[in-house]
Amino acid sequence: MTVNEQIAIEHGLKKDEYEKICKLLNRIPNITELGIFSAMWNEHCSYKSSRLHLKNLPTKGKQVIQGPGENAGVIDIGDNDAIVFKIESHNHPSFIEPYQGAATGVGGIMRDVFTMGARPIANLNSIHFGTPQNKKTKNLLRGVVHGIGGYGNCMGVPTIAGQTSFDSSYNGNILVNAMTLGLVKKNKIFYSKAAGLNKPVIYVGSKTGRDGIHGASMASASFDEKIEEKKPTVQVGDPFTEKLLLEACLELMAGESIIAIQDMGAAGLTSSSIEMASKGNLGIEINLNKVPCRETKMTPYEIMLSESQERMLIVLENGKEELAKKIFDKWNLDFAVIGKTTKSKKIELYFDNKQVANIPVNTLVENSPMYNRKWKKAKLPKKNKIKKEELNNLNIIDVLKKILSNPNVCSKEWIWQQYDHTVMGDTIQKPGGDSGVVRIHGTNKAVAASVDSSAVYCWAHPLTGGKQVVCESFRNLISVGAKPIAITNCLNFGSPENEENMGEFVECVQGIGEACEYLKFPVVSGNVSFYNQTKNLGIKPTPSIGGVGLLEDYQKMISMDFKELDNIILVIGKTEGHIDQSLFARNILDEKNGPPPEINLFNEKNNGETLLKLINKGYVKSAHDVSLGGILTAVSKMCIKGNKGIKIKKPKYLINEIEYFFSEDQGRYIVEIDKKALKMVTEILNENAVHYDELGTISPDELNIHDKTKVSIDELRTSNTNWLINFMSN
């Protein structure tokens, strides 16, 4: 096939990008070379629209061992232990083929983690679907959940936490973000930088097939009415093979054989070989005839662009080939020496004794496009004027029940019951709390992790929303007694070629950066997913934040369930009564306009760190951050979890009762305190200038609002649990 401009455009390249390729090569590329450029220069691999802005994120910290730029981030948790973690998107594949799309998303993120020498210890996910009324939503949800569970469960890795939301903006493009944590010794971390000349380049794992070709390019394009035609671009996963690959890689890593290792993810053999060569400032020569293939007559183009799963590329020390082969043979995996490192600084491919590609590595990486796209700054919306009489006419319990049964607040137990969260025996806080928590086996330490996003706030005002989602992650870790250390992010947006969408991205990233900087909560890894749209209709901006924190002593872990009768309940943080963009405003008042709640980073940090002091001193019995649905929603969930009630006393409201109970002011927590500790707790809160309200005391069986409004905990539980069960069973 003779390459021309039209063929380049069909590969997702722009006219000027094709011209640049021809200029860099000083010739027209052949079809294999064009395929390689299209893969490496697409949005998913090159970050050409986002690199400029991502550079501004804070990435360093006292406990950061490895920041962005590797397969995953790494943080130091003491005692020569480190946590490797990352979150990534698999949005487009999951919309096209939900089971395999979600499954291979989980498989891919786990490979990113164990590629670095870490054994995966926990999975999380952030999944977003269209409205329940949309005819595709139920099947997409079922397929995605089964795909996540099917892969993670087979791998024997617990899924400890997650987030699920529904919004009309996802009707044409769902989001599936998968996160994995792994544990590794600091002196056994592996990297992807190739080094040394004439070192053997090794292919291991599954055979290469035709599945997933153009998967990375597809992830950098909008959907249209031809979506069904894109099913062949979705990879097919095999978790049992990945389990074998994990064990084989870790066994080889126990020795001194590996120089560099890289998983074959997006763009497969293309991206893995080029990234290794680029980081090492050298070349790689590959004989494509030696690549194990499961299909006949595969072309160089197909071999290089296949995204078949469960594959790794390794640069070995000389003389270690036989040792490595024995290990992979033992685990019944393919092993092939397919090439070597060279001083050429080129990717040189051979097939049937002919050179089929010769590309300088720098043209694919350093010379890839980087765009400073035009973007529109978002204005802060004006506050809505809500009539007090409209609020006073509402029945608090009716409002509460409606909010508890809202798809975005209701119990997601139907989902997480399909995940194995107990395998490995170290999960000490299961899904459904503020954060999942796993013990570091054989120590007193535990690691907490959560994943959060807030598309509504980011849509209303991206800068504020970006700050908020980081703060939410910070609070969720604090709420279980963990010290927040670092985050990973998955930034899901519409087309960057749209100025409004690009503005949402730029300002969200700015907000994330400001919050991370202030909270000393650096970004160590992440992923950008653009073109989440069908035709010209994009999703709401959805940055997903995966936060990781450390408990030095897991016995000090806190859960959200109310513990003991007569204990005192405090609201930490000030309630101003911000209703705009709250779940109450959108679902009770049907008001979609207005600004999100303000973010005070000083209060976020001060309130959180003070609460952590109280937890470490043993004063706190339970805790839960106040987020979607406000105080009364948070309290109700604590009642349901603990099967206990609360007697709320007549508060000294400066605002309307409805506003107090359902507003979504930030930086707040609900905290359970033993009566005997109240004096010491309030002294510490006052010393640290932390605002608090005494809300009430724990009581049996019912939620009682100053003796005039009552509802049983069983009624609240029914409201909270039934919606999703009924939705999925009908």
Annotate 146-178 with b (16+ C-beta within 10 A) or e (fewer): ebbbbbbbbbebbbbbbbbbbbebbbbbbbbbb
Q: Is 11 a catalytic residue?
A: no
H or E stretch including 633?
helix 630-642
CA atoms within 13 A on the CB side of 131: 4
Compute the distance between CA of residue 639 and CA of residue 716 in angstroms, rounded to an integer: 9
What pLDDT is attached to residue 486?
A: 98
Query: Does residue 272 register a pLDDT over 80?
Result: yes
Query: Does residue 601 register a pLDDT over 60?
Result: yes
CA atoms within 13 A on the CB side of 562: 30
User: What average pLDDT does range 30-43 have in this prediction?
Assistant: 95
Compute the distance between CA of residue 188 and CA of residue 209 in angstroms, rounded to an integer: 32
The rounded mean pLDDT for the chain is 94
User: What average pLDDT does range 512-519 have in this prediction?
Assistant: 98
Of all residues in the chain, the percent with pLDDT exceeding 90 is 91
User: What average pLDDT does range 347-372 have in this prediction?
Assistant: 96
What pLDDT is attached to residue 171?
A: 96
Query: Does residue 644 register a pLDDT over 90?
Result: yes
Catalytic pick from 11, 44, 92, 624? 44
Cβ-proximal residues to 367 (8 Å cutoff; 6+ apart), any chain? 20, 24
User: What average pLDDT does range 670-683 have in this prediction?
Assistant: 97
User: What average pLDDT does range 494-512 have in this prediction?
Assistant: 97
Task: Pick 536 or 345 by higher pLDDT.
Answer: 345
Q: What is the DSSP string of 362-379?
A: HHHTTTS--------PPP
Rg for the chain (alpha carbons), in Å? 26
DSSP structural state of residue 477: H
Q: Cα–Cα distances in Å, from 84 out to 50, 66, 114, 150?
A: 24, 9, 8, 23
Of all residues in the chain, the percent with pLDDT exceeding 70 is 97
Query: Does residue 343 register a pLDDT over 70?
Result: yes
Compute the distance between CA of residue 442 and CA of residue 513 in angstroms, rounded to an integer: 36
What pLDDT is attached to residue 221?
A: 54
Catalytic pick from 11, 53, 90, 128? 90
Cβ-proximal residues to 556 (8 Å cutoff; 6+ apart), any chain? 481, 615, 616, 618
Query: Does residue 391 register a pLDDT over 50?
Result: yes
Query: Does residue 507 register a pLDDT over 50?
Result: yes
Reported as a single tens digit per residue, the pLDDT across 702-718 is 999 988 899 999 999 99
What pLDDT is attached to residue 349?
A: 98
Q: Count H helices, E strands: the chain? A: 26, 28
What pLDDT is attached to residue 267?
A: 87
What pLDDT is attached to residue 224?
A: 57
Split at pLDDT 50, 70, 90, the class of 390 is: confident
Split at pLDDT 50, 70, 90, the class of 227 is: very low
- The amino acid at residue 135 is K
Reported as a single tens digit per residue, the pLDDT across 170-224 is 999 999 999 999 999 999 999 999 999 999 999 999 999 988 786 545 445 555 5
User: What average pLDDT does range 44-51 have in this prediction?
Assistant: 94
Q: Cα–Cα distances in Å, from 352 out to 191, 270, 356, 434, 629?
A: 32, 19, 9, 57, 64
What pLDDT is attached to residue 530?
A: 96
What pLDDT is attached to residue 291?
A: 98
What pLDDT is attached to residue 222?
A: 58
Q: Is 44 a catalytic residue?
A: yes
